[in-house]
Amino acid sequence: MDRPVILECRKVWKIYGAQADSFLTRNSRPKKGELSAAGLIGAVRDANVQIHKGEIFVIMGLSGSGKSTLVRCLSRLIEPTAGEIFFEGQNLLSMPEKDLIRIRRTKMGMVFQQFALLPHLTVLENAAFPLDVQGVPRAERMERARKVVELVGLKGREGNYPRELSGGQQQRVGIARSLAVEPDLWFLDEPFSALDPLIRREMQDEFIRLQNMLHKTIVFITHDFDEAIRLADRIAVMKDGAIEQVATPEELVLRPATDYVAEFTRHVSRSKVIRAVSVMEPLAGDSFAGEVPHDARIEQIADQVEASALPHRVMQDGQAIGQITRQAVIDVLVGRR
């Protein structure tokens, strides 16, 4: 990936328990069993991550895997036991408190599972609240809040109170509030998990629409692999506080680095993650039924390709780079590839 790194963590640990700091000083890379024997909990263990500008980076794992703790370390909402965290080249862990507060207020946005809207404020006032904290003049903050409220699809609801909104609408207010500060880095901690399946899918669509417009750098936490592969450029899979693998959704499915990742992705529909370029063949002949983008997922092109006995050309930057056949698509759909 050739985009610049905006956030990086190096050898980050978060250990809970008595004298965690001194234990880690004596043993710089303890195993999980050694931590347990010492009465300590390794919530994050030796995490190394680079997050690139403009990407959606998903951190996922089962409950207790450490994903939320890692994100709170990345934003320094909690203090790591050891390691380094750099945002735009600045070490957050050695930064004075006033500088950290400034960065959180002006460069970072956060959305959590609990909406935490202020019940006595309207939609517009809730969206403007972070700007009020910053001391932005009322006329300017209300104008910016009005724009983000419209951006998330709540135009006409500006005067409503949270109790008058559905769960999905309340979550949109939370998203609008975090966007009002125009963050460079956006943290979302399982923002849709409290919603019912239909509204959750709707919010994922809304999220994709917003990202296509705004091109934010996003760190997104989820335990739902279907949600992760729908949204992510890259995914970090965590287990017991450690990062098992960082890769694209397709790489996780096709080339799992550990047995755990293989098991974690075993039941994922491969057609949702495998792209045309991964199953194409060299061009042969000059008869083709049509064209498909090289980065199209098999799920997106299956009906088109299966409908013809002739292959389809696979296109990248206006050039044919290979062909994809009906049999290749069928092999993916039935799990042979």
Q: From the CB of residue 302, how many other CB atoms can be counted at a distance below 10 Å?
A: 17
Cut 0.75: pTM above it: yes
Q: What does each of the 337 residues of the chain score in pLDDT, given as a tens digit?
A: 678 999 999 999 999 999 898 898 888 889 888 999 999 999 999 999 999 999 999 999 988 999 999 999 998 899 999 999 999 999 999 999 899 988 988 899 888 777 788 999 999 999 999 999 888 999 999 999 999 999 888 999 999 999 999 888 998 898 889 888 888 999 998 888 877 888 888 888 888 988 898 899 999 999 888 899 989 999 999 999 999 999 999 999 999 999 999 998 988 899 999 999 999 999 998 999 999 999 999 999 999 999 999 999 999 999 999 999 999 999 999 887 7
- Would you mind telling me the total number of residues written for the chain in this entry? 337
Quick one: pLDDT at residue 106?
Answer: 87
Token representation of residue 240:
């017991």
In this prediction, residue 1 carries a pLDDT of: 63
Q: CA 272 to CA 321: how far, in whole Å?
A: 22
Scanning 64-179, the segments in alpha helix (DSSP H) are: 67-74, 97-106, 123-134, 138-151, 167-179
Same domain, 44 and 73: yes
H or E segment and range at residue 9: strand 5-16
Domain at 301, CATH number? 3.90.1280.20
Whether the CB-CB separation of 185 and 212 falls below 8 Å is answered with: no
3-state SS, residue 56? strand
The tokens for 153 are 């699809």
Residue 28's pLDDT is what? Answer: 81
Q: What is the per-residue pLDDT for 192? A: 83
**Which residue shows structure tokens 């790489």?**
251
Co-location of 256 and 301 in the same domain = no
pLDDT value of position 16? 95
Q: How far apart are the C-alpha atoms of 211 and 228, rounded to whole Å?
A: 15
Q: Are residues 328 and 196 in the same domain?
A: no
CATH code of 193's domain: 3.40.50.300
| Contact partners, residue 297, CB within 8 Å, separation at least 6 | 271, 272, 273, 274, 275, 276
pLDDT of 194 reads: 73
**Is residue 174 a part of any domain in this protein?**
no
Contact 111, 175 (CB under 8 A): yes
Residue 163 within any structural domain of the chain: no
Which phi and psi (to 5°) does residue 198 adopt? Answer: -65, -45
Last residue of a domain, one of 243, 268, 293: 268
Shared-domain flag, residues 216 and 291: no
Sheet holding 82-87, edge to edge: 41-52, 5-16, 82-87, 90-91
